[in-house]
Amino acid sequence: MQIFHRVLLAFLFLSSFTINPLSFAQSYPNRPVKIIVAQAPGASPDVVARTLASKLSDIWKTSVIVENKPGANGNLGIDIVAKATPDGYTLGLVVPSVMVINPFVYKNMPFKPLEDLAPITQVSSIIFSLVSNPQRPYQTVDELIAYAKKRPGEINYSSAGVGNLQHLAAELFSLKAGIKMNHIPNKGDSAALVDVMGGQTDLMFVPLPSAINQIKASKLHLMALASKKRVGQFPNVPTMNELGQPDVLIEGWTGLVAPNGTPDNILEDIQKAIYQIITDSGTKNSIESQGFEVVGSTPKEFRQFLRQESAKWSGVIQKSSINLSN
């Protein structure tokens, strides 16, 4: 009997350890949460992350901190997320380049995006725009194409880095328009836009939220939108489709991920909180006024979306002249 009692006590003692993790998960979060953004402060993903962090702090009654870790076209920062403890306290705000483009551009990725990261939600889609230096002699897309055909290789375009969605957008446009432009990669949206505004480069495809203030200040000329429809902020600016370039449809997006192995109930709780935030009328209007459209998909829906995006952009990369990087 004494042996039975000892076994029973040991079982109850060990069982307490199997119950405690569930109680911790149910009380998530009970300490500060970190969102890593793999872009520089002020870039469009950073704007989204800081909006979410502020609102999540209010909902969760704990600090939600944004850390900017730019470098290697997003690989540096999101690698930190991929290798973090899968407990829901380190999240990553991701964009297309790091999730569905870099694996086909970089020979040696430090992580496998679709395997090492757990999708939480697609937060938003992002309207892309074609902007140019206001002093350039072309003001419309037709004028740009005519100019480029007469002076092949003369036009330089900026991007946030090799293999970035901006890079691919310009390559896709060049292929469809039958022109040749030179790629001048930079380190992030802000630095690339500075080059266009300063005249070091001529134009670039860029997320509208990253350029909207400079466009309104007439420091950049908004030539066209690479979106399905026009936007309310610039009702007179046409889409690429309206200008005879229907294939130049570039939709960026932001999403939230966690390290693979993060408990499903935590992923679902985060998604529900994000959905609550971005569908609130005030927040939704604020986000959309900056050139975003809210989404708020489930983890399962976001995973399927990532697979589709990966297939699409791998095809574009194979048809382009982009060289693989180390």
* CATH code of the domain covering residue 275: 3.40.190.150
How many domains does the chain divide into? 2
pLDDT of res. 323? 58
Q: By residue range, what is the domain housing residue 87?
A: 32-125+252-319
Q: CA 146 to CA 143: how far, in whole Å?
A: 5
Q: Which residue from 90, 88, 114, 92 is spatially nearest to 103, judged by alpha carbons?
A: 114
Q: Is pLDDT at 24 greater than 70 in this prediction?
A: no
Residues 6+ apart with CB under 8 A from 135: 199
Same domain, 116 and 133: no
Q: For the CA atoms of the chain, what is the radius of gyration?
A: 23
* Structural domain includes residue 236: no
Write the CATH number for 193: 3.40.190.10
Same domain, 119 and 84: yes
Q: CA 111 to CA 242: how far, in whole Å?
A: 40
pLDDT of res. 19? 36
* Structural domain includes residue 9: no
pLDDT tens for 195-220 read 999 999 999 999 888 899 999 999 99
**Are 39 and 189 within 8 A, CB to CB?**
yes
**Phi first, then psi: what are they for 302, rounded to 5°?**
-70, -40
Burial class of residue 222 (count of CB atoms within 10 Å of its CB; 0-12, 13-18, 19+) = buried
* Structural domain includes residue 24: no
Same domain, 113 and 146: no
Q: Is pLDDT at 11 greater than 60 in this prediction?
A: no
Same domain, 179 and 314: no
More confidently predicted of 187 and 282: 282
Q: CA 118 to CA 87: how far, in whole Å?
A: 11
* Structural domain includes residue 174: yes
* Structural domain includes residue 137: yes
pLDDT of res. 75? 94
Q: How long, in residues, is the chain?
A: 326
pLDDT band at residue 287 using 50, 70 and 90 as cut-offs: confident
Same domain, 60 and 117: yes
**Are 265 and 87 within 8 A, CB to CB?**
no
Same domain, 133 and 221: yes
Mean pLDDT throughout 43-64?
93
pLDDT of res. 1? 44
pLDDT of res. 325? 54
* Structural domain includes residue 241: no
Mean pLDDT throughout 130-139?
97
- β-strands 90-94, 33-37: how paired? parallel
Same domain, 36 and 99: yes
Q: What percent of the chain has pLDDT over 90?
A: 64
* Structural domain includes residue 244: no
Q: Which two tokens stand for residue 258?
A: 């966690």
**Phi first, then psi: what are they for 239, rounded to 5°?**
-90, 165
* Structural domain includes residue 89: yes
Mean pLDDT throughout 246-260?
93
**Are 111 and 78 within 8 A, CB to CB?**
yes
pLDDT of res. 316? 75
